[in-house]
């Protein structure tokens, strides 16, 4: 678990409501991964039920270990997660059954390199993991969820050129991302300033292809693809440079990928700056692939009013519309994420709700969202959570 500033020692407070909010369409569940906030505390996965403007804790489990950092649902009752196990030299990849009531049952696990922080499923039963602290990746055969089989597991050499931060002294893969064809997995490497590319074989093996090199000090963190009208695009958010980059993607005859940069601006948009110490985090498309939203941490440039009426400083969620023909993003909105350090956020399947995980605040906030405009609206529910929430996802 990487250190954070301003950790709120929060006690779970379920059922906070906004009386002026429109009701949610139907109850659903949120699964939240948390790091421990203090020595002796155990992190885990907390399940919340989202009702009419309420978030109610329904279950807690450490079935994914004490430092879970990513959750991926393969189906409504089957999920995979990783235990970052900071600062252990190794982490773990877990197969877990999710019961209807939100309780969890561990089915199988296998070790990873240190600090696993992301999972993507690929092929007919493969899972790829990015290992931030261990400087490598892992792949697993998950065709039998009760018996995970380890596959590829390379680590990468430290970069030879000095980096912009301490983190850039070694390779730091931060996310595993599947391309729209399902044939490639890429890994933004924050430490080496590379987009690492692997071909996903039918055997589930991952074959390394040439990487794309970025300017030293960029710090690529997370990325997402868009299959546009005529081309495929990659959108990359960079933690150190705090930029959003867009590339056209070329599928080469030698089964490699090429990337041509067509856009590079501040995460806040063209001509905008960010405060010193800012660290961009998450990026994802809306379910309809029309809008791109990213989170920016540690800048405190927005204001957010809690359910109890208290106004606090907040980091932002930043939304762009995207032209499917040209790939070009256009700034739509910058809005409060609900507090400090929004490490992760997610949309529900309909795109009508956004869940924001405020790691340093110990809080989850649910916002309304207008599908047509892409704008995030008022908060409709929130809950404090014991620990440091680093990942939140809807179960639908």
Structural domain boundaries of the chain?
13-395
Radius of gyration of the chain (CA): 20
Q: What is the pLDDT of residue 7?
A: 38
| Spatial CB neighbours of 166, under 8 Å, sequence gap ≥ 6 | none
Q: Terminus-to-terminus CA distance in the chain, angstroms? A: 28
pLDDT digits (tens, 9 = 90+) for 260-270: 999 999 999 99
Spatial separation of the C-alpha atoms in residues 84 and 88, rounded to whole Å:
8
- What is the CATH class of 13-395? mainly beta
Q: What is the pLDDT of residue 53?
A: 87
CB crowding 7-42: b at 16 or more within 10 Å, else e = bbebebebebebeebeebeeebbbbbbbbbbeeeee
Q: What is the pLDDT of residue 27?
A: 61
387: nearest Cα among 61, 82, 38, 64: 38
Strand order in the sheet with 342-347: 13-17, 376-384, 363-369, 353-358, 342-347
Spatial separation of the C-alpha atoms in residues 257 and 292, rounded to whole Å:
22
Q: What is the pLDDT of residue 264?
A: 98
- Residue-by-residue pLDDT tens, the chain, 396 positions: 444 433 333 333 333 333 333 444 456 899 999 999 988 888 999 999 999 889 999 999 999 999 999 999 999 999 999 999 988 899 999 999 999 999 999 999 999 999 999 999 999 999 999 999 999 999 999 999 999 999 989 999 999 999 999 999 999 999 999 999 999 999 999 999 999 999 999 999 999 999 999 999 999 999 999 999 999 999 999 999 999 999 999 999 999 999 999 999 999 999 999 999 999 999 999 999 999 999 999 999 999 999 999 999 999 999 999 999 999 999 999 999 999 999 999 999 999 999 999 999 999 999 999 999 999 999 999 999 999 999 999 999
Q: What is the pLDDT of residue 392?
A: 98
Q: What is the pLDDT of residue 52?
A: 85
Q: Is 168 helix (H, G, I), strand (E, B) or coil?
A: helix
**% residues pLDDT > 90 (the chain):** 89
Please, is 309 exposed, middle or buried when counting C-beta atoms within 10 Å of its C-beta (0-12, 13-18, 19+)?
exposed
187: nearest Cα among 241, 126, 140, 234: 234
Please, is 106 exposed, middle or buried when counting C-beta atoms within 10 Å of its C-beta (0-12, 13-18, 19+)?
middle
CB-based contact 73:393 (threshold 8 Å): yes
DSSP string, 343-373: EEEEE-TTSSEEEEEETTTTEEEEEEE-TTT
CB-based contact 53:380 (threshold 8 Å): yes
Q: Give the torsion through C-alpha atoms of 172, 266, 215, 70, to 10 deg.
A: 10
């Amino acid at each position: 678990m990487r250190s954070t500033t301003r950790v709120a020692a929060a006690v779970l407070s379920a059922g906070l409501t906004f009386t002026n909010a429109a009701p949610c369409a139907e109850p659903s569940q949120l699964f939240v991964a948390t790091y421990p906030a203090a020595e002796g505390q155990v992190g885990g996965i907390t399940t919340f039920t989202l009702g009419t403007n309420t978030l109610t804790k329904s279950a807690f489990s450490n079935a994914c270990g004490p430092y879970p950092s990513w959750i991926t649902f393969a189906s409504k009752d089957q999920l995979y997660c990783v235990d970052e196990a900071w600062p252990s030299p190794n982490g773990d990849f877990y197969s877990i059954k999710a019961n209807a009531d939100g309780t969890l049952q561990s089915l199988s696990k296998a070790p990873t390199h240190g600090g696993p922080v992301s999972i993507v499923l690929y092929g007919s039963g493969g899972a790829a993991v990015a290992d931030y602290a261990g400087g490598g990746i892992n792949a697993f055969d998950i065709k039998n969820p009760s018996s995970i089989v380890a596959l590829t597991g390379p680590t990468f050499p430290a970069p030879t050129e000095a980096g912009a931060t301490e983190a850039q002294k070694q390779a730091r893969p931060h996310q595993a991302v599947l391309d729209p064809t399902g044939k490639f997995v890429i890994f933004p490497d924050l430490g080496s300033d590379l987009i690492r590319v692997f071909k996903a074989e039918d055997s589930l093996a991952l074959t390394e292809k040439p990487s794309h090199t970025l300017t030293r000090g960029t710090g690529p963190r997370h990325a997402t693809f868009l299959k546009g009208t005529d081309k495929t695009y990659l959108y990359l958010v960079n933690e150190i440079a705090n930029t959003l980059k867009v590339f056209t993607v070329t599928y080469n005859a030698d089964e490699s990928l090429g990337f041509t940069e067509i856009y590079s601006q501040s995460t806040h948009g063209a001509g905008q700056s960010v405060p010193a110490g800012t660290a961009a985090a998450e990026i994802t498309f809306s379910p309809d692939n029309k809008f791109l939203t990213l989170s920016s941490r540690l800048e405190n440039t927005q204001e957010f009013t809690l359910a109890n009426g208290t106004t606090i400083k907040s980091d932002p969620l930043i939304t762009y519309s995207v032209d499917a023909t040209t790939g070009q993003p256009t700034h739509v909105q910058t809005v409060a994420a609900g507090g400090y350090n929004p490490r992760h956020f997610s949309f529900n399947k309909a795109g009508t709700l956004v869940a924001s995980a405020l790691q340093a605040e110990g809080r989850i906030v649910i916002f309304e969202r207008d599908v047509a405009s892409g704008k995030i609206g008022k908060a409709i529910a929130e809950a404090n959570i014991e620990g440091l929430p680093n990942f939140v996802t809807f179960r639908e």
